[in-house]
Chains A and B, each alone.
Chain A
């Protein structure tokens, strides 16, 4: 079974800190995604990547950047964390651009104080 692993289950950071969220998948998937999950808003796409060193903005990229130096690893970066970035962050992967099924990690609950 595909495994998508997010490095932290819970994170507490201070306003203005630089925050790194890490995600690793073990099935050689081409596509990787970062979503944030907020009550009543569902899942909203922040960034995605379809290949190493490639990235595309999703629906809410402001305040975030990403890095994909290796195929299996996709990092989400908050350059200067703000309280409105307190949320559940979910990483996902899919085999390729034509494959519809997403595999999600268990999420990182980030609190920015």
Chain B
């Protein structure tokens, strides 16, 4: 049973567009929600993360939106660029177990020039 469900599995966006990836979780005890970015041939790398005490976190073109009542969070990539083409994973972890992550299934993003 996957505790973190991610959608869509794949996404194609035109350069300059907005990429949106959604995740839903089941365990209300989760309290740390990171996004990892993985380029082909590389391991995932932490992109941005949020805690449930805020509804939004922005770092450059990347924004996490968090809806605690709906148990959902999403990654928005503004002004998407071909260099953003990668696989994105959402994840969640429990309080005081921050590095014990439960990952979503991943989204393969392609940004067309």
Interface residues of A (CB under 8 A from B): 4, 31, 33, 35, 39-45, 48, 90, 92, 94, 97-107
Contact = CB atoms under 8 A, between A and B. Distances in A.
A69 B36 CA distance: 29
B99 A102 contact: yes
A33 B97 CA distance: 14
B61 interface: no
A36 to B, nearest CB: 11
Q: Name the interface size band of chain B.
A: 20 to 34
A54 to B, nearest CB: 15
B contact patch SS:
loop
Interface of B: 2, 4, 6, 9, 32, 34, 36, 41-46, 49, 89, 93, 96-101, 103-106
Contact of B42 (A39, A43, A92, A106): A106
A72 B9 CA distance: 35
Given A40-B105, A41-B105, A42-B105, A4 B43 contact: yes
A43 B103 contact: yes
